[in-house]
């Protein structure tokens, strides 16, 4: 194959020995589900009809939810990139690099919640990335207009002059200094330069001095002066009022004269804080990202964009090259809107009791979607095509000309007569087209003869109309509109830096997006706190496809909330965004038909916005075991041999499906089981609260927040894991845990008092209750904390709840017969 046409990546399908049994089992499980519901519906429990009906409704919902989750995993694939081919094609010796430029976006809001040192490490890893320096520009969005962030970025730019050449000289990995110096690894592996050890020690000392400077800035920022912050020249800091300040842009690196300590050029580093005024809806992170798109479009206009959260650093210095293997691929690159990398995390304990790594989603679900139309966008670690973010449709594949043949026998006209009709229609259409062109030419000649048309007037009118249309779409900035029309990026010639900065300030003003399509059809889409799902969905609806890239060395790493309360609030935010999308016009159930969205991809998007509604049947279903144990009823009648076989087949198919998924997704059983447990924990807490909060917000306009208050902390490597923070999200799972434990105690006591015959019916109820308790076990561990001691507030709340349940139990009084106690004469004379 010609070197210029060789693919830069390839698909690696899952082995048929792994995927075919998996698909067969999915079909078999569908059959078993059909038989199961046939039995359940035709065998109601007459003495517990309400319990039976509720349980069947819940089970039908779970089955639908399983279908939505399962079928998008029908075609899982993996991918491999060829970095050597990329270099051979675009980095020829003795010539400038032809790799495409990339603009990198980093977003931060509050430096007191998002430590400046973490943001600084992310920025340093970007500046030191293994990519041509003149083709990388880093834009940091400070949506809190904090002087602390500005000063920390200034210090970061100064330290980068030493750190970047050190990383490139010695091929350091990872290139975030905090993680490089703290990792317990053999840093001398593959290092042969005699000066490495000496320079590494000097660099570590420089980094520690840099940390002290950042810590000093943070300490100073703890107490805000009465008159607000002032800059070094004595002028007031423009961002003293967080909600009312002008737009600010500062270019720290990349300008003339700013080079590293070895006199090499550095990538561009730009600080951006968009204008904020009272009375404007700024659309949170999505609005900040759209401001960065416009600023970068004016200042650098790279055809590709990478966005990362401030706590997600580049762990693999070749991450941009990995993405370019897909984006710049000569065969398939033009149709790719973004390359999504998996999220990997540092600082999580070995057991990962709250499923923070989310391995099942990133290693199973996302690989399944990659075999369809591509993975969903998850908010960070994603390289975009700028034109796709601008709302343009994906390029359509040219259809090959159909083969024609005039040798069909006459008797085939019944089957193939349509060919003749199509041919006749085509000829007629060609004649009409020729007639229209001829009439246009005649009218043009008449106009010229009559002198009613001057030279170039039509061209000028069409150009003006196109310019007005683009300004209505992109806003009133001629410079930005001109950049948006450049498919391959690039800057306008003879544009002075001062004029470009002035234009950049204009495009981040509050009123710039008024009466435009920003947030509606272009850029990050507004309308949900999870703008990532909406943005990816819109691009897929325009016919684009995405790619999932999983290099052996993780491309990005970040930090995750590892204690229970913070984890639940993170899940609450995701679920709230899904509810908002479900109740909006962009809901994938009814939006985007007639576009380029494939039906299995649509199923995955429907699942991503429907899953919070599963919390309602889930919390009801988890309450049923306790109700059954307390009342002596059950949701199924006396089980026959046929029913036993059905139940065993259903449970076996669930288990084997999980095992096969773990096999082809290369996921450990611990990660899979933690994911199952947290699905229940999150479903009965965060998803439930998100559902009600979303309904109140969208339907009633009431915006509610659940606050988290820190109560205690322990010192240690994973001290945050044992940090207890009271939140109302803990109430529903705590209630379920307590009533199921009480139900088990009551059920066993009842069986002991009633004799041997009552143990048989009790077994099913006990299994049902223990299923709930086992799934909530990590939640119980989170409540107990490191010392295995439940916090006082939980003890008080539990005692109150237990008292209510006890009074309820006395009212039910199951140990006494319905007609009152039966008294019999024992036959003994006690006198």
Quickly list H helices, 176-225. 177-182, 196-221
> Measuring CA to CA, which residue among 806, 497, 763 is closest to residue 634?
763
- For residue 338, the SS3 value is strand
User: Residue 225's pLDDT is what?
Assistant: 85
Residue 713 buriedness (CB in 10 A; 0-12 / 13-18 / 19+) = middle
Q: How many residues does the chain have?
A: 831
Is 455 annotated to bind a ligand? Reply is no
Is 114 annotated to bind a ligand? Reply is yes
Q: For the residues of 704-720, what is the DSSP string, one character each?
A: -----EEEE---STTGG
Is 98 annotated to bind a ligand? Reply is no
Residue 379 buriedness (CB in 10 A; 0-12 / 13-18 / 19+) = buried
Which letter does DSSP use for residue 9 in this model?
A: E
Is 191 annotated to bind a ligand? Reply is no
User: Which residues are CB-neighbours of 514 under 8 A, at least 6 positions away?
Assistant: none
Residues of the chain where predicted confidence (pLDDT) is lower than 50 = 404-425, 427-428, 431-455, 706-716, 787-788, 814-818
Asked if 775 and 681 touch (Cβ cutoff 8 Å), the reply is yes
User: Residue 539's pLDDT is what?
Assistant: 93
CA distance 617 to 790: 29
- Measured in degrees and rounded to the nearest 5, phi and psi for residue 322 equal -60, -45
CA distance 711 to 564: 13
User: Which residues are CB-neighbours of 232 under 8 A, at least 6 positions away?
Assistant: none
> Measuring CA to CA, which residue among 345, 783, 677, 726 is closest to residue 569?
726
CA distance 519 to 680: 34
Asked if 576 and 693 touch (Cβ cutoff 8 Å), the reply is yes
Half-sphere exposure (Cβ direction) of 108: Cα atoms closer than 13 Å: 30
Delimit the domains of the chain by residue range. Answer: 40-66+604-783, 83-395+501-583
CA distance 355 to 175: 27
CA distance 658 to 514: 49
pTM exceeding the 0.95 threshold for the entire prediction: no
Asked if 654 and 26 touch (Cβ cutoff 8 Å), the reply is no
Q: Is the peptide bond before 217 cis (omega within 30 degrees of 0)?
A: no
User: Residue 31's pLDDT is what?
Assistant: 94
Is 113 annotated to bind a ligand? Reply is yes
Strands 313-314 and 136-142: unpaired
Strands 382-385 and 336-340: antiparallel
Strands 313-314 and 556-559: antiparallel
Is 284 annotated to bind a ligand? Reply is yes
Asked if 138 and 127 touch (Cβ cutoff 8 Å), the reply is yes
User: Residue 383's pLDDT is what?
Assistant: 96
CA distance 325 to 9: 6
User: Which residues are CB-neighbours of 614 under 8 A, at least 6 positions away?
Assistant: 61, 62, 65, 683, 687
Residue 798 buriedness (CB in 10 A; 0-12 / 13-18 / 19+) = middle
- For residue 259, the SS3 value is strand
Q: Is the dihedral of CA 243, 246, 247, 250 positive or negative?
A: negative
CA distance 785 to 779: 10
CATH class of residue range 83-395+501-583: alpha beta
Q: How far is CA 99 from CA 95, 175, 326, 339, 586, in A?
A: 12, 21, 12, 16, 36
Asked if 202 and 165 touch (Cβ cutoff 8 Å), the reply is no
**In this structure, what is the dihedral angle of CA atoms 29, 34, 36, 39, given to the nearest 10 degrees?**
-160
Asked if 276 and 245 touch (Cβ cutoff 8 Å), the reply is yes
For residue 552, count other CB atoms closer than 10 A to its CB: 6
Q: How far is CA 30 from CA 24, 139, 790, in A?
A: 10, 50, 43
Q: For the residues of 75-114, what is the DSSP string, one character each?
A: S-EEEEE-HHHHHHHH--TTS---PPPEEEEEEE--TTTS
CA distance 131 to 97: 10
What digits encode the pLDDT tens for the residues 389-399? 998 988 887 66
Q: Catalytic residue positions?
A: 143, 532
User: Residue 699's pLDDT is what?
Assistant: 79
Can you give the C-alpha Rg of the chain in angstroms?
32
Asked if 762 and 741 touch (Cβ cutoff 8 Å), the reply is no
Asked if 276 and 344 touch (Cβ cutoff 8 Å), the reply is no
């Amino acid at each position: 194959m010609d070197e210029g046409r060789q693919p830069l990546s390839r698909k690696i399908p899952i082995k048929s020995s792994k995927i075919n049994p998996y698909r067969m089992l999915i079909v078999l499980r569908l059959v078993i589900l059909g038989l199961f519901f046939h039995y359940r519906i035709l065998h109601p429990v007459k003495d517990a009809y309400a319990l039976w009906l509720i349980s069947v409704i819940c089970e039908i919902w779970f089955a639908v939810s399983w279908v939505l989750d399962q079928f998008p995993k029908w075609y899982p694939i993996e991918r491999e990139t060829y970095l050597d081919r990329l270099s051979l094609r675009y980095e020829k010796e003795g010539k400038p690099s032809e790799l495409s430029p990339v603009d990198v976006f980093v977003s931060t809001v509050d430096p007191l919640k998002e430590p400046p040192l973490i943001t600084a490490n992310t920025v340093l890893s970007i500046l030191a990335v293994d990519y041509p320096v003149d083709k990388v520009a880093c834009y940091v969005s400070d949506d809190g207009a904090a002087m602390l962030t500005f000063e920390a970025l200034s210090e970061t730019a100064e330290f980068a002059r030493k750190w970047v050449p050190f990383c490139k000289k010695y091929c350091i990995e990872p290139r975030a200094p905090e993680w490089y110096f703290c990792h317990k690894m053999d840093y001398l592996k593959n290092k042969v330069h005699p000066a490495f050890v000496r320079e590494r020690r000097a660099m570590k000392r420089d980094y520690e001095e840099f940390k002290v400077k950042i810590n000093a800035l943070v300490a100073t920022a703890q107490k805000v002066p009465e008159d607000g912050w002032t800059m070094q020249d004595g002028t007031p800091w423009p961002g003293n009022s967080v909600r009312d300040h002008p737009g600010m842009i500062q270019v720290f690196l990349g300008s003339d004269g700013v080079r590293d300590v070895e006199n090499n050029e550095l990538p561009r580093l730009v600080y951006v804080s968009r204008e904020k005024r009272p009375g404007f809806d700024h659309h949170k992170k999505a609005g900040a990202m759209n401001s960065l798109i416009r600023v970068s479009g004016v200042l650098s206009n790279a055809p590709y964009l990478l966005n990362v959260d401030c706590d997600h650093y580049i762990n693999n210095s070749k991450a941009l090259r990995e993405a370019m293997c897909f984006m710049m691929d000569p065969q398939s690159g033009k149709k790719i809107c973004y390359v999504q990398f998996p999220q990997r995390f540092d600082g999580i304990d070995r057991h990962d009791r709250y499923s923070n790594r989310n391995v099942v989603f990133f290693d199973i679900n996302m690989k399944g979607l990659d075999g369809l139309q591509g993975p969903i966008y998850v908010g960070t670690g994603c390289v975009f095509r700028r034109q796709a973010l601008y709302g343009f449709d994906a390029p359509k594949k040219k259809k090959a000309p159909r083969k024609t043949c005039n040798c069909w026998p006459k008797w085939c006209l019944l089957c193939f007569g349509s060919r003749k009709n199509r041919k006749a229609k085509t000829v007629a259409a060609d004649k009409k087209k020729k007639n229209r062109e001829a009439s246009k030419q005649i009218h043009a000649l008449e106009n010229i003869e009559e002198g009613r048309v001057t030279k170039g007037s039509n061209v000028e009118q069409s150009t003006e109309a196109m310019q007005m249309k683009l300004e209505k779409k992109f806003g009133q900035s001629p410079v930005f509109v001109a950049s948006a029309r450049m498919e391959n990026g690039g800057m306008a010639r003879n544009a002075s830096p001062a004029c470009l900065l002035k234009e950049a300030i204009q495009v981040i003003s509050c009123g710039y997006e008024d009466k435009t399509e920003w947030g509606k059809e272009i850029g990050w889409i507004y309308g949900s706190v999870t703008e990532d799902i909406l943005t990816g969905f819109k691009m897929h609806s325009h016919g684009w496809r995405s790619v999932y890239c999983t290099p052996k060395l993780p491309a990005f790493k970040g930090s995750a909330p590892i204690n229970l309360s913070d984890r639940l609030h993170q899940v609450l935010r995701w679920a709230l965004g899904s509810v908002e999308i479900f109740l909006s016009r962009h809901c994938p159930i009814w939006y985007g038909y007639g576009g380029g969205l494939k039906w299995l991809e649509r199923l995955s998007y429907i699942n991503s916005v429907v899953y919070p509604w599963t919390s309602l049947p889930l919390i009801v279903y988890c309450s049923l075991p306790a109700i059954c144990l307390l009342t002596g009823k059950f949701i199924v009648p006396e089980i026959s041999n046929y029913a036993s076989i059905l139940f065993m087949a259903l449970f076996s198919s669930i288990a084997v499906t999980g095992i096969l998924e773990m096999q082809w997704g290369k996921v450990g059983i611990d990660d899979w089981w933690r994911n199952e447990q947290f699905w229940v924990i999150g479903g009965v807490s965060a998803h439930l609260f998100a559902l009600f909060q979303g309904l109140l917000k969208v339907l009633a306009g009431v915006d509610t927040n659940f606050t988290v208050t820190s109560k205690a902390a322990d010192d240690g490597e994973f001290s945050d894991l044992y940090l207890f923070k009271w939140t109302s999200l803990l109430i529903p799972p705590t209630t379920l845990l307590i009533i199921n434990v009480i139900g088990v105690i009551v059920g066993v006591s009842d069986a002991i008092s009633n004799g041997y015959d009552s143990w048989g019916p009790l077994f099913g109820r006990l299994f049902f209750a223990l299923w709930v308790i086992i799934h909530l076990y990590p939640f119980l561990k989170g409540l107990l904390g490191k010392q295995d001691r439940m916090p006082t507030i939980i003890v008080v709340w539990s005692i109150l709840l237990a008292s209510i349940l006890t009074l309820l139990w006395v009212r039910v009084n199951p140990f006494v017969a319905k007609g009152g106690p039966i008294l019999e004469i024992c036959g003994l004379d006690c006198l």
